Amino acid sequence: IAGITQAPTSQILAAGRRMTLRCTQDMRHNAMYWYRQDLGLGLRLIHYSNTAGTTGKGEVPDGYSVSRANTDDFPLTLASAVPSQTSVYFCASSDELGRQYFGPGTRLTVL
Amino acid sequence: DQQVKQNSPSLSVQEGRISILNCDYTNSMFDYFLWYKKYPAEGPTFLISISSIKDKNEDGRFTVFLNKSAKHLSLHIVPSQPGDSAVYFCAATPSFDRGSTLGRLYFGRGTQLTVWP
């Protein structure tokens, strides 16, 4: 069982470019989440999805969009990357007890 | 506005001794609390949780204590081991946000635990 997979592992991106971070889970969890982790700021929620077909904004949604076409996939798109989006991005899903399971992360650098 | 606070960014403990990591919250609607552990270059992993109907939950070397009146929880690790060195995140979720699939977690900023030999 892979759990949560994320791709790419890391990426260097020029400012202004479009980028999609991929996230796939094989646990059939309904709820999925995207976080960014920045030094000293912990984990901040970008977007979430309670079930396929629905999405919602977290605390730092600006500059990001998500889609949830099916249960397994939850891609995060940066339409026009800016240097302040340099961060480590984590995708997660949660089980029926509320425990979230995280992917290994994508380290993104925007120059 | 940080609803979950971990006021100690770091903690250093000798191997074999007790590690106590603290967490405070401000939202009285939070009723489920979790601790996550994170190693460098890996995603956070679930460690232990506690519901607001309890004041203690124990799992091996890890015990979480909840003081609802003080809006405070703590994670005790006994005995501490060098492999416990990691960043520990406290998280909480409110009952009204849980619905059928349980809702978003509010995370603290983490405490870096270092266990030295």
Considering chain A, what percentage of its residues have pLDDT values greater than 70?
A: 98
Residue A1 confidence (pLDDT)? 56
Q: Is B103 on the interface with A (CB under 8 A)?
A: yes
Query: What number is the average pLDDT over the span B6-29?
Result: 96
Strand, helix or coil for residue A21: strand
Query: Would you call B40 exposed, middle or buried from its count of C-beta atoms within 10 A (0-12, 13-18, 19+)?
Result: exposed
Residue B44 to residue A48, Cβ atoms within 8 A: no
List the beta bridge partners of residue A74.
Answer: none
Cis peptide leading into B40, omega within 30 of 0? no
CB B43 within 8 A of CB B107: no
B27-47 residue pLDDT tens: 998 999 999 999 998 999 999
| Residue B101 pLDDT > 60 | no
Cis peptide leading into A75, omega within 30 of 0? no
**CA–CA separation, A104 and B44 (whole Å):** 8
> If you measure CA to CA, which chain A residue comes closest to B98?
A98
| Residue A61 pLDDT > 50 | yes
B44-84 residue pLDDT tens: 999 999 999 999 999 999 999 999 999 999 999 999 999 99
Q: How far away is chain A from the Cα of B102, in angstroms, using its nearest Cα?
A: 5
Residue A42 confidence (pLDDT)? 86
Q: Is B54 on the interface with A (CB under 8 A)?
A: no
Residues in chain A closer than 8 A to B88 (CB atoms): none
Q: Which helix (H) or strand (E) segment is B73 a member of?
A: strand B72-77
Question: Which of A65, A63, A98 lies closest to A82 in space, CA to CA?
Answer: A63
Residue A34 confidence (pLDDT)? 96
- Average model confidence (pLDDT) across chain A: 94
pLDDT band at B108 (very low <50, low <70, confident <90, very high): very high
Q: How far away is chain A from the Cα of B8, in angstroms, using its nearest Cα?
A: 11
| Residue B102 pLDDT > 90 | no
Residue B103 confidence (pLDDT)? 65
